[in-house]
Amino acid sequence: MAGFEAALRDRGHDGIAEALIARHNQRMQRIVYSGQVMQSIGLPLLTSQFPMGLAAEELGADLGRPPFWSGPTWPDHLAWGLDSVITAVRLMLCLQPIGASIVARTQLERWSSNLQFNSGIDQQPGESTVAWLNRLWAEPGVRPPDGVETPVGELFADLSELLHGRGRLMPLVWLDVADVTEMPSSEHVQMLEAVGNALIVSLSHIRTCLATAAEQKGYEVLAETINRIRLVAPARSWLPDLRTFLWPLLPMFIRQPGVEGPLGAMATAHRRVISAMQAGREPAEPSELWPAFSFGAHRFRALLAAQHAYQWERKLLGDRFEEQGVENAFTRAVLAGEMAAVVARWLRQDPDKRSPADALAVCASGLRSAQWLWLEDDNRGMGCLRSVIEQVARARTWRLRPERARKTEANPNCTPRDWIEGAGWRRLNLLNRALGEFAHGSTKTNWNVARNALVAIQNTEDVEQAQYTGRTHALTAMIFILSVECAAWADTFGSHLGDAYRRVVRIDDAQADQAIEALLNRAWEKRQTPLR
């Protein structure tokens, strides 16, 4: 806090902005510095990407589809599951536990739904999801996931608890937001295994589905080959410059000449290996490089999709297109996320404020992942926003109604809705529920219908354009709400800090209250909008 007060004294509110931006820049550099450690954790999870991707292509999957799209066919859907593992690994490499956990949990639910359908093992009335998942995956005839000893239901519980801002994995969030120069410890590595193990469970079932699809087509040799695929092996190659592979796909980044070339080279190498295998030749590239090739090819497809989306938006909006619009939104998210992290650190020093500190820490981590996924048109970014809306409501409840907050914290079965109502935002339940749909991946959810709810909440007269901006509106609304809450919490440490931050993000309390009230009213008016 003394550092921020000194920056305010020496540079005015610009000093606060510069400190927050500098903090973000240090965080990005840490991704590079921790690269070797994190690659040793993440790249082994990509061992099976090449052989299973090749099998999916042999079965008819279009491996040129954007990574975020599950495609129109069953082989495409299986390939999307493989892409999702890479998406989660990328977020792990970037030390973003909320985003990685959202992707891992939605995949775990998706493939559990498939296993339920094929096995007939249904969740019984009154049976917890954790107990049911443990029973489902332990049934005779279900192939045990390679090397995963933790029951699947326990993995699901760990990820879910983290997304609600509690549980044994919370140190991963504090690694993300607290000291942006801290390297992962051995304890952090062990906690990351929960995310990795959840991905292995999904990979195990995708392997089974690919083998079954091959058998149904009469490809007996292919089915046998798929069943022998090893899911995890020690990483034997490294990506020397992670920035090209990991940085968020902002327009200013994707236009840089040094980005498309390296990713395109990796995608070309990946295709050469596939072509050699399909022709029955031994690839010239050693198998140790294949996980890195798969990762690079995935990122190249994400880059092409982002470039296409950028040009499509330019065409759609015409004269209304703002060249710097995405970059400006990114800057606002950085300022909100870093301020939430800073305030969380200040609050954490008081033992009585650990809960609101945890809440704001999750907001900071979740908002970052939400925006990075949003840049790639990935619906799971909205799932990250579900954690943000719950935790900003939790922080607000602690600030305005501490006694109610204590009672809610003491309830082990408290829900996001409890925090939304505790914050005085009952009218915002539609937004909370819509974002909640994106935080889950079972066949009961319908992301397209949930997106319609985000579209309905907007305040716009252009109905046609509104069909494409529902997720953007949800993201910008949560950035704004989090910024308002950060300013209010900063006031508790001195109004000079809160006022300086308000000047940085250009927030006026009276206008902010009016804007949030208008959002609450719109959400309430549309509360009957279906979500499934």
Whole-angstrom CA distances from 216 to 59, 73, 225 are 10, 15, 15
pLDDT digits (tens, 9 = 90+) for 112-147: 999 999 999 999 999 999 999 999 999 998 999 999
Q: What is the dihedral of CA 461, 464, 465, 466, to 10 degrees?
A: 70
315 in the same domain as 347? no
347 in the same domain as 302? no
Average pLDDT over residues 174-179: 94
**Is 502 inside any structural domain?**
yes
> What span, in angstroms and rounded, lies between the C-alpha atoms of 509 and 522?
20
Q: 297: Cβ–Cβ under 8 A, 6 or more apart, which residues?
A: 266, 267, 270, 271
205 in the same domain as 273? no
Q: Which domain holds residue 128?
A: 34-235
**Is 507 inside any structural domain?**
yes
310 in the same domain as 224? no
402 in the same domain as 360? yes
**Is 500 inside any structural domain?**
yes
365 in the same domain as 269? no
pLDDT digits (tens, 9 = 90+) for 292-338: 999 999 999 999 999 998 888 888 777 777 778 889 999 999 999 99
**Is 368 inside any structural domain?**
yes
Q: Is the pLDDT of residue 27 over 90?
A: yes
**Is 44 inside any structural domain?**
yes
169 in the same domain as 147? yes
**Is 15 inside any structural domain?**
no
518 in the same domain as 423? yes
Q: What is residue 280's DSSP assignment?
A: T
347 in the same domain as 284? no
State which of 296, 321, 346 marks the end of a domain: 321
Q: What is the dihedral of CA 367, 370, 372, 375, to 10 degrees?
A: -130
519 in the same domain as 433? yes
**Is 2 inside any structural domain?**
no
- Identify the sign of the CA torsion 465, 468, 472, 473: positive
State which of 174, 208, 235 marks the end of a domain: 235
Q: Is the pLDDT of residue 394 over 80?
A: yes
Considering the chain, what is the average pLDDT of its residues?
94
Task: Name the domain count of the chain.
Answer: 3
The 3-state secondary structure of 332-371, one letter per residue: HHHHHHHHHHHHHHHHHCCHHHHHHHHHHHHHHHHHHHHH
168 in the same domain as 79? yes
* Whole-structure pTM value: 0.96
Contact 49, 187 (CB under 8 A): no
477 in the same domain as 404? yes
pLDDT digits (tens, 9 = 90+) for 347-369: 999 999 999 999 999 999 999 99
State which of 287, 321, 355 marks the end of a domain: 321
**Is 5 inside any structural domain?**
no
Q: Is the pLDDT of residue 175 over 90?
A: yes
